Amino acid sequence: MSSIIPYETIKHPIDENEALPLHKTRKPHVKRPKPLPVHWAPPPSFLPRVIFHTTCFCLTFHTTLDFMWEIFKEPKGWENFHVQYLVQLNQLSTVQGLVLTTVAVFITTSPPLKQINYGADSPYLLLSESLVFSLFGLLFQLYTSVVGQSYQKKKTFKALKRNRWLFLCHIMILSIPVYLFGISLLLLIFAISVTGFLSSSTSAKIFTGGTFALLFACLFASILPSPFYTRLYGLLWGKRNCDDNDSDDESDGEIHHEKGAGATVTVTTHEIHLKASSDPPSP
Whole-number Å distance between alpha carbons of 54 and 66: 15
Answer whether 269's CB lies under 8 Å from 19's CB. Answer: no
User: Closest Cα to residue 60, out of 47, 48, 70?
Assistant: 70
Is there a contact between 121 and 90 (Cβ–Cβ < 8 Å)?
Answer: no
d(CA 81, CA 68): 10
Largest CA distance in the chain: 123
Residue 95 has what pLDDT?
93
- Decide: helix, strand or coil at residue 244: helix
What is the DSSP annotation of 188-224?
HHHHHHHHHHT-S-HHHHHHHHHHHHHHHHHHHHHHT
CA distance 257 to 272: 23
**SS3 category, 116:** coil
Rounded CA-CA distance 267/265 in Å is 6
CB distance 10 to 276 below 8 Å: yes
> Using CA atoms, how far apart are residues 78 and 151, in angstroms rounded to an integer?
9
pLDDT tens string for the chain (283 positions)?
A: 445 555 555 545 544 444 445 455 555 555 666 777 777 888 888 998 899 888 888 888 788 888 888 888 888 888 888 889 999 999 999 999 999 999 999 998 888 888 888 888 889 999 999 999 999 999 999 988 888 888 888 888 888 888 888 888 999 999 999 999 999 999 999 998 888 888 878 888 888 888 888 988 887 787 777 666 666 666 666 655 444 444 444 444 444 444 444 444 444 444 444 444 445 554 4
- What is the spatial distance between Cα 279 and Cα 111, in angstroms, rounded to a whole number? 98
Supply the pLDDT for residue 101: 93
**Half-sphere exposure (Cβ direction) of 55: Cα atoms closer than 13 Å:** 20
Locate the domains of the chain by residue range.
39-200, 240-277
Q: Contact at 8 Å (CB) between 205 and 197?
A: yes
At residue 259, the pLDDT reads: 43
CB neighbours of 120 closer than 8 A, spacing ≥ 6? 195, 198
Burial of 226 from C-beta contacts in 10 A (0-12 / 13-18 / 19+): exposed
How many residues does the structure list for the chain? 283
